[in-house]
């Protein structure tokens, strides 16, 4: 071979090598980025046409795919859409996906790395690839009871198994129909999405996990827990004047009811929801210990990644007046309904707090498990003794105090009501956070009901009147 031919051969080999390296780089390194690029319509077309696996609640398919004669091979459908929309989310061509449709998208589509072997077998046999099924922890009866209770109201309900962290119900109202956004008629789907996005009632927002609100008196549970864990005996008297001058101010904090005297027990303070007593407890515990206890219950964390839960908030850098107000769930304290369910859950479960989860099992198309959840202990914000003491106080709230509307025959129910002030131009928020135990004392369910707006006058808003009956119905559906 003469020199010119050798040079040409070397140049060709170098070019082929560079070409192979570039192809390898694109496949190995850039593939996921290229696939995710919004301009890559071929990938989007292929994904939208896939036979996605179902999402289930109990034995019910709440999201599924069916063959379609249209542009795309399969149409995503949602059964009982308004009931389950906060959990399933939606799967849209132009607006992406949300909730479980987003966080389990690759598994539902069958493109996840865990399904590589299945895809390879399908390729070899010529079978159409199928996505995995996602089995949720949702109890359909509890879900229906929560949705029925919130009918005509704006709000949210979260129910959880205190012994595992499994979410038993999650409802947010007003809800929406994901079918309209998943339509193959893209113009119609875009119009539907725009209408929902512009709706002042924010139906696309999951109020159970994605919004934080002033919790008001339900936060007194955290204050009581902080006091107990920092050495305040359950039976020790607490100063409970009719008016408490907030430190360093000319402002007096009052009570909404007669507390029972100028010094009362913690149980009495919780039963009648005495503001001045809990403000004094917060001052006694101190800012650092109050914040630490709130964080042990989950404040400042995002406890349910499956549904993109936001963090609840306990403020920093306060003066004593602001600290006192946090003791009654005011100032800048803000929580999701999910967060307050975690608080009730830990109290009911003798201080053990399990991390919440909403997906039990993911199964391949041949029903073999790809992923199975195991209960995960998140922490222990209370000792067993202090948790039992506080649970007993919550039970008194239901038997004798502001939460009597949550009573269930044959079950032990504990709860805490709240009528939380939000803004002068709108009614307060109604809260009720609670738990129920069976006749053997085993905690079966923790429930938080949040009513943002019930369409009633300000004087008719109360946690015991609006929220407690809903919680009772949800607990009864499980018990």
Residues labelled as active-site residues: 217
Contact partners, residue 421, CB within 8 Å, separation at least 6: 214, 216, 330, 428
Q: Is 15 exposed, middle or buried (0-12, 13-18, 19+ CB in 10 A)?
A: exposed
The CA distance from 313 to 361, in Å, is: 31
DSSP string, 352-402: -EEPPBSEEEEE-TTS-EEEE----EEE-SS-HHHHHHHHHHHHHHHHHST
Q: Are 88 and 76 spatial neighbours (Cβ–Cβ below 8 Å)?
A: no
Contact partners, residue 243, CB within 8 Å, separation at least 6: 252, 253, 254, 276
**How many CB atoms within 10 Å of residue 430?**
29
Residue 116 to residues 360, 361, 400, 428: CA-CA distances in angstroms? Answer: 22, 18, 59, 52
Contact partners, residue 417, CB within 8 Å, separation at least 6: 217, 218, 273, 397, 401, 402, 403, 431, 432, 462, 463, 464, 467, 468
The CA distance from 431 to 450, in Å, is: 5
Structure tokens at 334: 């803000």
Structure tokens at 26: 């694109």
Q: Is 36 exposed, middle or buried (0-12, 13-18, 19+ CB in 10 A)?
A: exposed
């Amino acid at each position: 071979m003469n020199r010119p031919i050798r040079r040409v051969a070397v140049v060709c080999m170098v070019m082929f090598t560079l070409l192979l390296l570039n192809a390898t780089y694109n496949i190995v390194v850039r593939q996921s980025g290229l696939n995710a690029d919004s301009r890559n319509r071929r990938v989007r077309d292929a994904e939208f046409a896939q036979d996605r696996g179902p999402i289930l609640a109990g034995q019910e398919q709440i999201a599924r795919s069916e063959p379609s004669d249209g542009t795309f091979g399969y149409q995503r459908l949602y059964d009982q859409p308004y009931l389950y929309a906060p959990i399933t989310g939606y799967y849209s061509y132009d607006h992406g996906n949300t909730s479980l449709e987003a966080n389990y998208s690759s598994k539902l589509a069958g493109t996840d790395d865990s399904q590589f072997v299945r895809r390879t077998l399908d390729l070899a046999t010529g079978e159409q690839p199928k996505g995995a099924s996602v089995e949720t922890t949702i109890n359909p009866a509890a879900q229906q009871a929560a949705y029925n209770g919130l009918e005509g109201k704006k709000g949210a309900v979260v129910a959880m198994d205190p012994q595992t962290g499994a979410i038993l119900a999650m409802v947010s109202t007003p809800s929406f129909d994901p079918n309209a956004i998943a339509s193959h008629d893209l113009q119609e789907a875009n119009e539907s999405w725009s209408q929902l996005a512009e709706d002042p009632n924010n139906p696309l927002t999951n109020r159970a996990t994605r919004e934080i609100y002033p919790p008001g008196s339900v936060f007194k549970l955290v204050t009581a827990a902080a006091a107990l864990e920092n050495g305040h005996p359950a039976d020790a008297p607490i100063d409970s004047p009719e008016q408490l001058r907030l430190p360093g101010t000319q402002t007096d904090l009052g009570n909404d009811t007669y507390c029972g005297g100028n010094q009362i027990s913690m149980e009495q303070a919780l039963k009648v929801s005495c503001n001045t007593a809990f403000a004094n407890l917060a001052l006694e515990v101190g800012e650092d210990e109050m914040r630490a206890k709130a964080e042990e219950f989950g404040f400042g964390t995002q406890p349910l990644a499956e549904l993109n839960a936001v963090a609840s908030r306990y403020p920093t850098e306060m003066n004593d007046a602001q600290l006192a107000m946090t003791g009654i769930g005011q100032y800048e304290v803000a929580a999701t309904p999910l967060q307050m369910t975690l608080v009730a859950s830990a109290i009911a479960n003798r201080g053990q707090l399990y991390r919440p989860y909403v997906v039990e099992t993911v199964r391949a198309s041949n029903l073999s498990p790809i992923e199975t959840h195991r209960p995960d202990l998140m922490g222990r914000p209370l000792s067993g003794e202090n948790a039992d003491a506080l649970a007993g106080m919550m039970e008194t709230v239901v038997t004798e105090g502001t939460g009597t509307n949550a009573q269930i025959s044959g079950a032990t129910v504990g709860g805490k009501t709240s009528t939380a002030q939000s803004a002068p131009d709108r009614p307060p928020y109604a809260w009720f956070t609670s738990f129920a135990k069976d006749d053997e004392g085993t905690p079966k369910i923790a429930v938080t009901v949040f009513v943002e707006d019930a369409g009633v006058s300000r004087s008719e808003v109360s946690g015991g009147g609006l929220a407690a009956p809903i919680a009772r119905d949800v607990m009864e559906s499980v018990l």
